[in-house]
Amino acid sequence: GACVNTYTDIDNLVMHPSGEWGVDSFVSNECRIISFSGDTCSATPVIFAEVDTIMHMSIDENNIYVCASAADDSGHKVFIYNKDGVLQNTLCDSEGEGLGSITFVTQTANGFIGFDGNMRDVLLWKKDGTFIAEISDEDLFDTNYPWFCSSTVLSDGSILTLMTSEREDQSATEVLVFQITG
């Protein structure tokens, strides 16, 4: 529980699983790769040129996922970059257009999985970025219009996803947690 270090001039930092570096962003496509070494950190500017307004960002072992509105006004998409900020792939819907509001995305053994908080769907793509399917929250989790808040990949490869939903009797908003395997 003790603070081991404090870094200043960092807005929204998303860390690589190694803890050695992360991406600092605000809302624009002008971001910084922050590298940590002991008590110091260094920043290297990176511009995600295909992106306009960033809504969410996540990092897994191999990729930086920038969930954002496209600079070409083609909608909200997931732009996948390497650590150097080079675009590797773009994830979109079956018609090559925008998505709702992706709150989490990661690579799986067979491709990519994403959670669309706005549309309340789980989205699947092949390794090459080809759209496979969308699965509604109701069909997968037996829920009724929850907000996908956050998710994480566990050490066994399963995904823990957190969502909030209004109780059927509208007495409260509850937190729901599901573990996705397979």
**Beta strands 111-116 and 21-25, pairing class:** unpaired
Cβ burial of 27 (10 Å; 0-12, 13-18, 19+) is middle
Across the chain, which has 182 residues, the per-10-residue mean pLDDT values are: 85 92 93 91 95 94 95 95 95 90 92 93 96 94 91 92 92 95 84
pLDDT at site 161: 95
pLDDT at site 36: 92
What gap in Å lies between CA 151 and CA 113, rounded to an integer? 11
In contact, 24 and 13? CB cutoff 8 Å: yes
Query: pTM to 2 decimals?
Result: 0.90
* Coil vs helix vs strand at 138: helix
pLDDT at site 38: 83
